[in-house]
A and B are shown apart, each in its own frame.
Chain A
Amino acid sequence: MNAQYVAAIDQGTSSSRCLVFDLQGRIVSLSQKEHEQIFPRPGWVEHDPREILRNVIEVVHGALDTGGLDVRDLVAVGIANQRETTVVWDPHTGEPVHNAIVWQDTRTDALCRKLGAELGQDRFRDRCGLPLATYFSGPKVSWLLDSAPGLRQRAEEGDLLFGTMDSWLVWNLTGRHVTDVTNASRTMLMNLETLDWDDTLLDAIGVPRAMLPVIRPSSAIYGEAGESLGGVPIAAALGDQQAALFGQTCFSAGEAKCTYGTGSFLLLNTGSRPVLSGHGLLTTVGSKIGDEPATYALEGSIAVTGALVQWFRDKVGLIGSAPEVETLARTVDDNGGIYFVPAFSGLFAPHWRGDARGVIAGLTGYVTKGHLARAVLEATAWQTREVVDAMNADSGIEMTSLKADGGMTANNLLMQFLADVLGVPVVRPNVAETVSLGAAYAAGLAVGFWPDVESLRANWHKAAEWLPNMDQAERERGYRKWKKAVQRTLDWVDDDD
């Protein structure tokens, strides 16, 4: 049988998924499996890399089985992964020396503050485009190497390897120790201009060069998978948000998307030059296709959006499933005057405040669970508004519509409210699974399944559009209240916490 499909592995924060796509970019089949979230202490989040590897192989076979396909029907596999999550393993045994430290984990807060010292959190921004924050991999690696005796020395001698999730998977599937340039751009260890590891950053943060993977393009054949995946070429890797930007076919400067999942991530393609932010955004690599020049992006990262709905479901228990938050929210007409700022692990863009913790502001005896549900949803929209304002200021271009994707686009109330508070139309593409689609596109380009990026644009179709329907005064009043609520989250964490 002729190979005629591309598979995408989406190794996400809460689950691993595999989607199979056809030449038109349409979903053929899907399989997914959740993995355990390990919380050793408040603020710490870990995953078991071995569980993730097992799940990834299982979901690829699951998706093939569901679609009645064989691994020989695949021309290539692409990987999109949760970014920054840090794995360190022993190449001789293949065993991780520690659980993966997840991007949400805040254990490096003190280390980041120490690294910033009097120079502040923007100390490395001109080199790597990122502020010093617990989010990024470099400080996580450094913490890990100091967490047990002997680790740092083994790393210096090349007896330990570091990788983000893409690297861990590709090493296990093909035996090559590589990472892609978009994942590397999230480590704080890569220089944005040279697209190579930067000795100044490595020395300052304390990560030995000997343990680092080779940085490769996002779309390139890294190697052939071993027996577990029947020798199929592994031909792409991108950080999940960069993959979504690619899957939304935002190939030109000025095109932007926002993906609504556990967290939410607004990325704007800025073309072949990195744009440094003056408003709390990240400068990152968008993609690099083979030998072509890299494409850069500005990113507004929001740590907690869908995660707030999950928390509301699992920890508060007022709803039985995530979609029911909309049902509960529709039992009332407004938020009853409350604003929920979910600074569970500090605030990301545009604030970057690790010392912030969540608040529900404006509580009165009038407030019901319906108002709470509404505030939970509105939090996602207001956080997007803050990032859009920063994006407009940095790029000097007013956003005229927002391409949204991800699981939360199924929430109609949220999408309408988002259009209302942004004051611009919000559109959803036909394939909401843009993370997977982007990885599939990049892998398909590497093996010639698609000739060029322009051929992919024809696959993008509008599936829904929400138009703003809120008057300006109400929008600005709500935004003012939101900003006041944000102020109340700051400076909560003390040194002795």
Chain B
Amino acid sequence: MPKPIQSIERASAILRLLSGRTRRLSLAEVAGELGLPKGTVYGIMRTLLSVGFVEQDPESGKYRIGAALLHLGSSYLDGNELRTRALNWADWLAARTNESVRLGTLHDGQVLLVHHVFRPDNSPQVLEVGALLPMHATAMGKVLLAYHPYLTEELTNGRLPRFTSGTITDPKLLAIELEQVREQGWAASLEELMEGETSFAAPIRDRQGVAVGAIAISGPTERLCDDAQPRVELVSYVREGARTISRDLGAVPW
């Protein structure tokens, strides 16, 4: 296989970065997040502008994803693609943990559920695909926030609504928690969205290492925790599932 073309890799990284944002980003922000010189980013950005893949706000000079790229079919973060690729391993995770499994992606500052596997006990359950969940109160949301720092800043500029007594509503506390999520590579929501319900999530990464989604198990706290501490073996299953799906995302599509 020929060597990858660096400028195309960089252009792709820029597009992925912009695609995860609800607000426009400045050249400095893009350069800062990707760790690239501003001059390099500027050159690539001009080219992307000329083909319509990014758009620039005439007043602020900030950038966002262009309409031409959206019309290509949104495949770069296609939830349907993610669900298909994750199908076997989401089933696997539900079977291993005996809990329900959900897959989420970023969508307008919320978590969009793109896949849902029932808890494997044949009890009545309702498919939740398509539902939107708050980022700061869910394990999947925290994972996605932890790997998209600019989004955190955006989200915490507003108010963080409270759902339970455990919901983190203080932006400073959330920032500390996200730092920990980045370090440990997974997140928990300990009754932060619903009383009595706990979930654990880990990031699904694509070939470039970008967190394109999160996978989580959810269930009653008494099953997921021992003495209010996450059960280690359940967390490792979630992380193993996420790693396996990530590995498959680097593979050839079926």
> Residues of A with Cβ closer than 8 Å to B?
15, 24, 26-27, 30, 319-324, 326-328, 407, 409-412, 430-433, 461-466
Contact between chains at A321 and B121 (CB < 8 Å): no
B-chain residues with CB within 8 Å of residue A322 when the two chains form the complex: 84, 253-254
Contact between chains at A327 and B75 (CB < 8 Å): yes
Shortest CB–CB separation between residue B14 and chain A, in angstroms? Answer: 20
Residue of A nearest to B253 (CB): A321
Residue of A nearest to B117 (CB): A463
A327 to B84, CA, bound (A): 12
Contact between chains at A407 and B254 (CB < 8 Å): yes
Shortest CB–CB separation between residue A195 and chain B, in angstroms? Answer: 35
> Which chain B residues in 72-103 approach chain A with CB under 8 Å?
73-75, 78-81, 83-85, 87-88, 91-92, 94-96
A-chain residues with CB within 8 Å of residue B117 when the two chains form the complex: 430, 463-464
Contact between chains at B120 and A461 (CB < 8 Å): yes
A323 to B73, CA, bound (A): 11
A-chain residues with CB within 8 Å of residue B116 when the two chains form the complex: 464
Contact of A323 among B83, B88, B118 (CB under 8 A): B83
> Residues of B with Cβ closer than 8 Å to A?
73-75, 78-81, 83-85, 87-88, 91-92, 94-96, 116-118, 120-122, 125-127, 129, 253-254
Could you list some 5 contacts between A and B, CB below 8 A?
A324-B78, A324-B81, A410-B84, A432-B88, A465-B127
Shortest CB–CB separation between residue A198 and chain B, in angstroms? Answer: 39
Shortest CB–CB separation between residue A419 and chain B, in angstroms? Answer: 11
A-chain residues with CB within 8 Å of residue B96 when the two chains form the complex: 26
Residue of B nearest to A464 (CB): B127
Contact between chains at A27 and B92 (CB < 8 Å): yes
Contact between chains at B73 and A320 (CB < 8 Å): yes
Shortest CB–CB separation between residue B229 and chain A, in angstroms? Answer: 26
Contact between chains at A430 and B81 (CB < 8 Å): no
A-chain residues with CB within 8 Å of residue B94 when the two chains form the complex: 430, 461, 463
Contact of B120 among A321, A412, A463 (CB under 8 A): A463
A30 to B74, CA, bound (A): 29
A-chain residues with CB within 8 Å of residue B73 when the two chains form the complex: 319-320, 324, 327-328
Ranked 4 nearest A-B pairs via Cβ: A461-B120, A323-B84, A410-B84, A323-B80
A334 to B67, CA, bound (A): 24
A-chain residues with CB within 8 Å of residue B254 when the two chains form the complex: 15, 321-322, 407
Contact of A327 among B80, B87, B120, B121 (CB under 8 A): B80
Shortest CB–CB separation between residue B243 and chain A, in angstroms? Answer: 12
A172 to B120, CA, bound (A): 39
Contact of B91 among A24, A27, A407, A466 (CB under 8 A): A27
Contact between chains at A324 and B75 (CB < 8 Å): yes
